Amino acid sequence: MAENEIKKDPSCMDDYDPNSIIPEKALENIFNAIIPNSETESLPVRKALGRVLANDIKSEINVPTGRNSAMDGYAIKSSDLPEHEIKKLNLIGTCLAGKPFRDSVNAGECVRIMTGAIMPEGTDTVVIQEQAIVVGDCIDIGNDTKPGGNVRQAGEDLAIGDLVLEKGMRLTPADIGLLASLGYSEVPVFKNIKVAFFSTGDELRSVGEELEDGAIYDSNRYTLYGMLARLGVEIIDMGVVRDDKELLERAFIEAAGEADVLVTSGGVSVGDADYIKEILEKQGTVDFWKVAMKPGRPLTFGKLDSTYFFGLPGNPVSVMVTFYQFVQPALKKLMGETVYSPIMMKVPCISKLKKRPGRVEYQRGVLEQDENGRMIVRKTGKQGSGILRSMADANCFIVLPLESEGVTPDEMVDVQLFHGII
């Protein structure tokens, strides 16, 4: 470098920086540092929706508990099924779901049966009502039914001892229904985690305040609130902290005393007011990474006592991208969840996308069906890291790998669905 040339620090605008790490490496480092929460509690099944299961759940009963009819019709002995001719059977009673037929059924007899009703003793087959003709106290049946047909066996859905739900799953509406079907009233889950967050920046104003020249509304606290709320963690909103060393230091100490995780936005690049790194180095352990990604290059990860710390960039889109790529998987692991990878799909991209090699890009896209019903992705409008509209308009990230030099229309790309990661 010539002596009179200004020394160039790698900046967020550069495409390639040899000191940067790839996103996979950053995530690996974070995962290696996170020790999952092992404290558990027992919750009523409905309250456990969205929480992470702390034990395997095995069935202690057969579902269904007894042999029952899968259809409305007539319960018979399979030995009474005719080969070719029409057969007449005596109708000797009725059984409904919850109201069993108490007597046993002999050859030449049948019982009217409704879906879900327990099969009467002596019967093993149900002739559906559409295939029987009622003639007085008898029914006529043909040869359309297979022996054993239209009967649900005991334990057919779940048998005693079957593994039903695995430790580390996040409980869905289907899961809590399944738990109820097994008779569980309470379920063991991992204790919830507390996540504190604040925004940094002298230029930030809260909604309701007046905006003087150079000031902007703090939107990151809203997106962060939304992303954390969707994860179901306990939220501690610490507001805006000015770019002041003492105030920041105090906020860090307060968060470390209360929360399992602290997430901040802004102040992690190499600007003059970026004290966060300095404070963390004094109070805990810290890694300061330039991640080869766009948007969202600078990322700080560390620990203050036992509290994990994520210092996200300030730009509104960068906050969301780095949250979804790094913080969300980390929080899931901390919450005891064992599956934390987002759903990826490969689809044709109908937009032309510009990109330079050397970083992974998370462009914002809309995944939809074209007029032929084919799934395609197109990019949302402007892609700047400050343009939050690009996230609001999108339903997926288009993930372009490190080496990609852009995309020509109809090229296949990887997309990460918001649905399922959010």
Does 271 participate in binding ligand AMP (rule CB under 6 A)?
A: yes
Going by the DSSP 8-state scheme, the letter that residue 422 receives in this structure is: -
Does 390 participate in binding ligand AMP (rule CB under 6 A)?
A: no
Residue 76, number of CB atoms within 10 A of its CB: 29
Stretch that binds Mg ion, among 152-160, 198-206, 252-260, 386-394 (CB under 5 A): 198-206
Does 296 participate in binding ligand AMP (rule CB under 6 A)?
A: no
In the chain, the amino acid numbered 307 is T
Q: Closest CB to Mg ion among 175 and 249?
A: 249
| Residue 93 · residue 74 · CB < 8 Å | no
Q: Map residue 46 onto helix, strand or coil.
A: helix
| Residue 407 · residue 351 · CB < 8 Å | yes
Q: Which does 218 bind (CB under 5 to 8 A by kind): ligand AMP, Mg ion, none?
A: ligand AMP
CA–CA dist 177, 21 (Å, integer): 44
Does 129 participate in binding ligand AMP (rule CB under 6 A)?
A: no
Q: Which does 71 bind (CB under 5 to 8 A by kind): ligand AMP, Mg ion, none?
A: none
Q: Which residues contact 65 (CB under 8 A, 6 or more apart)?
A: 154
CA-to-CA dists, residue 169 to 49, 172, 328, 419, angstroms: 11, 9, 15, 17
| Residue 84 · residue 144 · CB < 8 Å | no
Kindly write out the interface string for residues 177-216 of this chain, putting x where it contacts ligand AMP by CB under 6 A and - elsewhere. ----------------------x-x-xx-----------x
Q: Closest CB to Mg ion among 252 and 340?
A: 252
Q: Which of 23, 73, 266, 302 binds ligand AMP (CB under 6 A)?
A: 266
Q: Which of 23, 73, 266, 316 binds Mg ion (CB under 5 A)?
A: 266
In the chain, the amino acid numbered 319 is V
Going by the DSSP 8-state scheme, the letter that residue 120 receives in this structure is: P
Does 201 participate in binding Mg ion (rule CB under 5 A)?
A: yes
How many binding residues for ligand AMP (CB under 6 A)?
17
Angle (CA) 174 177 178, round 5°:
85
Residue 353, number of CB atoms within 10 A of its CB: 21
CA–CA dist 400, 392 (Å, integer): 20
Does 311 participate in binding Mg ion (rule CB under 5 A)?
A: no
Q: How far is the CB of 274 from ligand AMP (least distance, A)?
A: 7
Q: What is the β-pairing status of strands 216-217 and 293-294?
A: unpaired
How many binding residues for Mg ion (CB under 5 A)?
4
Does 23 participate in binding ligand AMP (rule CB under 6 A)?
A: no
Residue 43, number of CB atoms within 10 A of its CB: 15
Q: Map residue 27 onto helix, strand or coil.
A: helix
| Residue 329 · residue 343 · CB < 8 Å | no
Q: Closest CB to Mg ion among 267 and 342?
A: 267
Q: Which does 125 bind (CB under 5 to 8 A by kind): Mg ion, ligand AMP, none?
A: none
Does 298 participate in binding Mg ion (rule CB under 5 A)?
A: no
Q: Which of 115, 269, 283, 395 binds ligand AMP (CB under 6 A)?
A: 269
Does 59 participate in binding ligand AMP (rule CB under 6 A)?
A: no
Does 384 participate in binding ligand AMP (rule CB under 6 A)?
A: no
Q: Which does 204 bind (CB under 5 to 8 A by kind): Mg ion, ligand AMP, none?
A: ligand AMP
Q: Which residues contact 210 (CB under 8 A, 6 or more apart)?
A: none
Q: How far is the CB of 252 from Mg ion (least distance, A)?
A: 16
Does 73 participate in binding Mg ion (rule CB under 5 A)?
A: no
Does 267 participate in binding ligand AMP (rule CB under 6 A)?
A: yes
Does 276 participate in binding ligand AMP (rule CB under 6 A)?
A: no
In 3D, which of 93, 96, 98, 114 has the Cα closest to residue 65? Answer: 98
Going by the DSSP 8-state scheme, the letter that residue 406 receives in this structure is: -
Q: How far is the CB of 255 from ligand AMP (least distance, A)?
A: 16
Footprint of Mg ion (CB under 5 A): 201, 266-267, 314
Footprint of ligand AMP (CB under 6 A): 199, 201, 203-204, 216, 218-220, 265-267, 269, 271, 313-316
